[in-house]
Chain A
Amino acid sequence: MAENAEKLKILICTGTGGLASGAAAVGDAFKAEFEKQGVEASVGKRCEVVGTGCRGLCANDVLVDVCVPGQEPVTYDFVTPELVPQIVAEHILAHEPVAKKVAGPYYHKFLEKQQRVIFSRCGTIDAESIEDFISHRGFTGVKKAVTMSQDEVIEEVKKSGLRGRGGGGFPTGVKWSFAKGSPGSEKYLICNADEGDPGAFMDRSVLEGDPYGLIEGMMIGAYAIGCTFAYVYVRAEYPLAIKRLQMAIDTCYELGYLGEKNVLGFPRPLDMRIKAGAGAFVCGEETALMASIEGERGMSRPRPPFPAVRGLWGKPTNINNVETFANVSYIFYNGADWYSSIGTEGTKGTKIFALTGKVKHTGLVEVPAGTTMKEVIYDVCGGILNNRKFKAVQAGGPSGGCLPTEALDAIVDYDSLIKAGAMMGSGGLVVMDETTCMVDIARFFLNFTRAESCGKCIPCRIGLKIMLEILERITQGNGREGDLELLEDMAYDIKKSSLCGLGQTAPNPVLSTLRYFRHEYEAHIKTGECPSHSCKPLLHFEVIEDACKKCGMCPKVCPVGAITWEKGTVAFIDKDICTECTSCYDACRFMAIK
């Protein structure tokens, strides 16, 4: 981008989050305003509006960077088209940033404890421009890799200590060496971008924000194992990701990085194709994913044989997650020693988390391994929404577990998270406060895994259903003595006897909530009360007089006008009008509605 350095630039966040908040309208407003003001003439330089990928702080979209040459870029948040004329007039024409609208100190705090390696290009470059990518060290990694032997490439990855970011944490270099060592001239490489975890969206951001970075990582992997055909299995719910990636692949074909021209000098040319998924969580499981590519139902099969020996169409296959491949590129830019200097003994490099739920600044966070959960939640993401009390953080999606306050000092590391009763998983972190019922959360996850089970093996298909029925009964106030023991028994049996990772991990949310929040289960069963006042069948929709601070928040949000309140009095809910929609309950900051 050297030739662009002199230009005035407007960078607008146009990830899914940004677009949903109106980034396109903001972009148009900038273009229109520049034309109207004749900015070209007055500034004397051309302005360009660049579509970048996701910056991570999705809650504050639309984020806009104004880069005036010779000055530090200024970031604005919550930008609307109406605000654009003011920014152009004051900041660009009069060189006086609109102080009130500049993103506050939390924005810098949000970035301070992070180490953005994989995200270093996301949000900085134009994701659709290969020139931008190349000017940010693009393809230097793969160019270096092809000068080395296949074994040297694998050795470099082993030395870096990179472990699979999809959740399992298997050393990537070792996995590659299995695929390389398997006999056969036809081998496949698959990138698993079937991000099905509810609450995780880091893969989507990489696909949307740095598609070429992923392709480069895959090229290095393909070279190392000696494969000539690579698939990217993307879930079809990500239309923008698919579009950008397809565009990137097409450009690579045009320029000869992929396909017959083979400008990188691979031993044999590499082909790459996108395979869109069709909405089945189990397809994140590698054997199910391969079945899906083959056009079958996405059902898993027992391993061994492992994909490295017999995978796609019976050929040796290597499968890695998006984030893993994205890491590979940086290992080859900076060397294995640099990479292994980041992180802890057992977990090298950085990890991306998707932080959502009841935190102030939801979004994507990239921290070096070894950071504590507490730092991530409180320092990076600003703590709990509405100043409520922290209750738990769910780590690792449906396969993970809930960590309570006591476990907040756990560090971000494969082994220490498992010790604490959760797992890294793909990296979804959902923060819960005192209004979240843990029994309901366990029910929620089980409902999800039960629905997504492929149904091939009995423990998963029937066992999860029975567990779900028990949990549903408990949340409806019909729990029985002995339910908890039964749940525990079944959970261990299902974990031991299921065919694939889905069933083996599905009972984890139940086990971890039973471990840390057993009292909540007991309250549901013994007294028929939900301690978090969250299970709807157990809610009375009454105002707790002692707790009510007479703030007048609840009548404002009630969509049917069932709440009467006057200044200085306790609110009253008219049960004849109330539709039990829980709006008031969610809005009350003092837990005064039960």
Chain B
Amino acid sequence: MTETAQQETVEEIDLTAANRVIDKYIDMHGSLMPVLQGIQEAYGYIPEETVHLTAERLNVYASQIYGVLTFYAQFHLQPRGKYIVRVCMGTACHVKGAGRIAETLKDRLGIEHAETTEDVKFTAEYVACIGACGMAPVIMVNDATYGSLTVQKMDDVIKKYQAMD
């Protein structure tokens, strides 16, 4: 994403949703994580402005929030693709060829872990374990799980999503 495009998104951020999330949790003990999770759910990622808003309203340092955001794998500071492809890298998937699946994804879409395609359609994510080891190797595209993958099957899945809007 180019710099100008990024600035535009920053300017466009509507903080209503973030405020609503903060209102919901503000009185709760240990509210920072649920707030950040809620914001991510609303925006798809954590926009910079919402970090400052959260810092102000919860009375914590922005540096502490960034500490939390960069510590946990699930928080994202950049906009992400419409389709999040989670490639499971658990032990079972590893011995059954997850590396090959990840490489197929890289070959076809040109993205590696935590990268997004230029058209913001796909984001790749290598995750520790989806917990569907019985069907290894496994990937998830958003909420749909695809199991017992081969290079060919993986190709089909990618094509299916490429054809979709």
Contact = CB atoms under 8 A, between A and B. Distances in A.
Interface in A419-454: 428, 430, 432, 436, 441, 444-445, 448, 452, 454
B145 A559 contact: no
A3 to B, nearest CB: 35
Interface residues of A, number: 62
A419 B100 CA distance: 36
B132 A394 contact: no
A184 interface: no
B128 A58 contact: no
Contacts of B128: 196, 198, 279, 281, 448, 452
A51 to B, nearest CB: 17
B127 interface: yes
Contacts of B150: 557, 583
Interface of A: 16-17, 19-21, 57-59, 61, 195-201, 204, 236-239, 275-281, 292-298, 313, 354, 356-358, 362-363, 394, 397, 428, 430, 432, 436, 441, 444-445, 448, 452, 454, 536, 557, 559, 579, 581-583, 586
Given A20-B145, A21-B147, A432-B95, A363 B72 contact: no
15 contacts: A17-B135, A20-B135, A61-B135, A200-B131, A237-B129, A237-B131, A275-B33, A275-B34, A279-B72, A279-B73, A292-B33, A295-B32, A296-B68, A362-B136, A581-B151
Contacts of A58: 132-135
Interface in B60-103: 67-68, 71-75, 89-97, 99-100, 103
Given A17-B135, A295-B30, A557-B150, A583 B71 contact: no
B21 interface: no
A559 B92 contact: no
A204 B95 CA distance: 22
A586 B97 contact: yes
A356 B37 contact: no
B43 interface: no
B56 interface: no
Contacts of A441: 91, 94-95
Contacts of B94: 198, 441, 444
B104 interface: yes
Given A19-B145, A200-B129, A278-B74, A356 B92 contact: yes
A283 to B, nearest CB: 9
Given A201-B133, A354-B133, A448-B128, A313 B29 contact: yes
Nearest to A313: B29
Contact of B90 (A199, A280, A581): A199
A297 B133 contact: no
Interface string B125-146: 0011111111110100001111
Given A363-B134, A430-B92, A581-B151, A278 B33 contact: yes
B155 interface: yes
B6 interface: no
Contact of B129 (A199, A296, A357, A436): A199
Contacts of A198: 89-94, 128-129
A397 B104 contact: no
B72 A298 contact: yes
Given A279-B74, A436-B95, A295 B134 contact: no
Contact of B135 (A21, A277, A296, A448): A21
A278 B97 contact: no
B3 to A, nearest CB: 29
Contacts of B100: 581-583, 586
Contact of B73 (A280, A313, A357): A280
Contacts of A536: 99
Nearest to B131: A201
A237 B97 contact: no
A583 B155 CA distance: 13
**Residue among A237, A428, A441, A452 with max Cβ neighbours from chain B (10 Å):** A237
A276 B131 contact: no
Contacts of A275: 30, 33-34
Contacts of B146: 20
Nearest to B101: A581
B152 interface: yes
**Residue among A236, A279, A356, A445 with max Cβ neighbours from chain B (10 Å):** A356
Interface string B90-120: 1111111101100110010000000000000
Contacts of A238: 131
A16 B37 contact: no
B31 interface: yes
B105 to A, nearest CB: 12
B152 A557 contact: yes
Contacts of A294: 30
Given A239-B143, A582-B100, A559 B151 contact: yes
B127 to A, nearest CB: 7
**Residue among B32, B73, B130, B133 with max Cβ neighbours from chain A (10 Å):** B133
Contacts of A362: 92, 133-136
Contacts of B97: 582, 586
Contacts of B91: 198-199, 356-357, 394, 397, 428, 430, 441, 444-445
**Residue among B104, B136, B146 with max Cβ neighbours from chain A (10 Å):** B136
Contacts of B130: 16, 237
B33 A356 contact: no
Given A201-B133, A237-B131, A357-B136, 6 more contacts: A276-B33, A280-B72, A356-B134, A362-B92, A444-B94, A445-B91
